Structure 1
Amino acid sequence: MNSIGSRLTCIRYALVAGMATLFLATAWEVRGTIQRSELEHDFGSPAVRTMLASTVTISVDSRSTELGTGGGVLFMPSGTIITNGHVVDGATSVDIRRADGRHSQGQVVRRDPFTDLAVIQLVDPDIHWSPLQTGDSDRVQIGDQVFLIASSQLGGELRRGRITDLYPMQRDVRLIQTSIPIRSDEAGNALVNADGHIIGIVTIALTGSNSMASATAINSANDLVLSMVASPAPSFLQEVPNETPARSPVR
């Protein structure tokens, strides 16, 4: 009996040791993945500098005499920029500041109140920029690691978080909810995945001025922005007909 008991004890110890080894190996692999991602997206890395170079800070004088600010993302090398519609609402002049401090004047082409997206065109696009590489926002999942490239009056900043929810809306538009804190002057910035590819345009329209960042999925934004570019209204601010947003969580 003692011999059998000793063998059972040895087996139990072996099982516990094996499970512990498996757990540590798994934990190391997960931690290693996160560490590699963090190093890859370090603020001073070439990848992050490239992303910052493709984002802008937008300052707007409006008919209400209030100065509005927000972020923007280069959509085309010709100087087409995506931002939030409320950032440029009523704009009489639009100043575009790059990460390197250079300024350009922009003109609102069109905006869509439903998605809160707007298109700005540089008046004199003599600077050729490289847009961010576009990711596939249809493939993102809850729990995915994401990054906010925040360009604002305070300078460039990189923030990390997770996708916490996905919301379908009308007109085949998808909203990505994240755990990344956002300030009111950071709407219109880029949400990117762990590969540095843009997957959304950040908006605060549905979350408030001091909350977690939501983003209009880039797959939803692409077609809409292309249609706005194809049908511009350069002499005045033209809006796509508004619809009441309706959303329900994807479970």
Structure 2
Amino acid sequence: MQKSLIVACAALALVAGCERRPAAPAAAEKGPIEVPAIATPAGGAPDSFAPIVKRVSPAVVSIDTLSVAQNDTPWLELLPPGLAGPTPVRRGAGSGFLISADGYVVTNNHVVEGATEMVVSLADGRQFPARIVGRDPPTDLAVVKIDGRDLPYVSFARSALPEVGDWVVAVGNPFGLGGTATAGIVSARGREIGETFVGYLQIDAPINSGNSGGPSFDLQGRVVGVNSAIFSPSGGSVGIGFAIPSDLAERVTQQLIAEGRVTRGYLGVGVQDLTPALAARLDARGRRGAVIVGVAAGGPAAGRLRPGDVVVAVEGAAIASAGGLLRAIAEAPPGAQLTLQVLRAGRPETVTVRTARRSDQG
């Protein structure tokens, strides 16, 4: 079986820590792959995506995994050793991309989760055994390491996220076929899928099983997203894919390389979107935000936030949804003091609260 993109069928639903390691050293001998500016006719597509694909493809990898398959017959575990037969093995395949000359590879958590063996294959045919540096299930990101030197690598886009309508080029390993490029546009930003710390880029560049963990590039060859999920009633591409945006992906991968895990802030609040009906009840008509529906006793927000408060901004940045508030809290380090703008019984107030460490992270 291949490790596939997490697929939402009928309804949108998204289908650990390792040893502490130092941050990846900067490679003085080699820089990231650079793509010359590509002329785009006014109102049209580039004449060709070939220059981008040729430049970035050497840094895109295929990841083949072996893992122990879940035993569907638990009674076999009761048999004496040797009588239960060989241990069932599951094979998986996904994608990833190099972000350093010495072999750090970004991919999806669901590609490598549970893997007992991993082999990373480069576009030039070289293969390397890999080990997990760190995984972050909440964002479905992971970093693995291969031992190499002067490897080709790409960089994350560090400017503003792409706009809706901007071109993207996805490169990956669909169905184990190897290097495959598709192109499309950003269809939407900030898509929320279930309970997640990710506001996804929605793209229509076709991605399929095996594209998991592969990059989506802008026209300058910079990684703008990590392909992670698709919406599909059939399991195949219908032009609705989801990519983890580069700003979040870079923050998470930096922490995974440095510490093997990601640390997040916590306030101890339950939240939900501000619906029109709630806005009418809470004197917040015409506003967007997140409604506090519960505050944990003894938690960081106890005595500062109240059920019924409508959070409209954190640190001056507007909050449009419950997911947006949860992401803002999670991205703050433990011990950070956050300034929240809230509507309380229709009146604007400013609340400061200090984050704690999420309890599920030690």
Structure 2 length-normalised TM: 0.51
Cα distance, 1:240 vs. partner? 7.0
CA contact 2:65–2:116 (8 Å) conserved in 1: yes
CA contact 1:73–1:82 (8 Å) conserved in 2: yes
Cα distance, 1:239 vs. partner? 8.1
Instruction: Name the structure where helix makes up a greater proportion of residues.
Output: 1
Distance 1:159 1:111, change over 3 A: same
CA contact 2:167–2:183 (8 Å) conserved in 1: yes
Cα distance, 1:75 vs. partner? 1.5
Mapped partners of 2:249, 2:179: distance in 1: 23
Name the SS of the counterpart of 1:191 in structure 2: strand
1:87 aligns with 2:111: yes
Cα distance, 1:213 vs. partner? 2.2
Mapped partners of 2:60, 2:201: distance in 1: 19
Mapped partners of 1:29, 1:81: distance in 2: 36
1:132 aligns with 2:148: no
Mapped partners of 1:50, 1:198: distance in 2: 13
Cα distance, 1:130 vs. partner? 2.6
Distance 1:207 1:112, change over 3 A: farther
1:51 aligns with 2:79: no
Mapped partners of 2:42, 2:262: distance in 1: 49
Cα distance, 1:151 vs. partner? 3.0
Task: Look up the match of 1:167.
Answer: 190
Name the SS of the counterpart of 1:52 in structure 2: helix
1:145 aligns with 2:167: yes
**Relative contact order, CA 8 A, sep 6+: which one is greater?**
1
1:182 aligns with 2:207: yes
CA contact 2:216–2:225 (8 Å) conserved in 1: yes
The one-character-per-residue Cα deviations of 1:34-64 (angstroms, maximum 9, x if unpaired) are 2xx242x22xx4x422211001000000121
The one-character-per-residue Cα deviations of 1:137-183 (angstroms, maximum 9, x if unpaired) are 63311111111012342121211111111116688743100112211
- After TM superposition, the structure 1 = structure 2 runs for residues 97-246 of structure 1, keeping only pairs within 5 Å, are 97-122=121-146, 125-136=147-158, 138-152=160-174, 153-167=176-190, 173-204=198-229, 207=231, 209-211=235-237, 212-232=240-260
Unaligned runs of 5+ residues in structure 2 are: 1-40, 70-88, 267-321, 325-362
Task: Look up the match of 1:29.
Answer: 42
Name the SS of the counterpart of 2:61 in structure 1: strand
The one-character-per-residue Cα deviations of 1:195-247 (angstroms, maximum 9, x if unpaired) are 2211111101x635423321101111111111111113xxxxx7878x9xx75
The one-character-per-residue Cα deviations of 1:87-137 (angstroms, maximum 9, x if unpaired) are 111000000001111110000111111110011011xx2342132132236
Size of the aligned set, in residue pairs, is 203
1:61 aligns with 2:96: no
Greater CA drift, 214-223 or 160-169: 160-169
1:77 aligns with 2:80: no
Unaligned runs of 5+ residues in structure 1 are: 1-27, 233-237
Distance 1:88 1:53, change over 3 A: same
Task: Look up the match of 1:7.
Answer: none
Mapped partners of 2:248, 2:117: distance in 1: 28
CA contact 1:137–1:200 (8 Å) conserved in 2: no
Task: Look up the match of 2:317.
Answer: none
Identity %: 25
CA contact 2:191–2:200 (8 Å) conserved in 1: yes
Distance 1:132 1:56, change over 3 A: same
CA contact 1:142–1:165 (8 Å) conserved in 2: yes
RMSD of aligned C-alpha atoms?
2.6
Name the SS of the counterpart of 1:184 in structure 2: coil
Mapped partners of 1:38, 1:156: distance in 2: 21
Cα distance, 1:77 vs. partner? 1.5
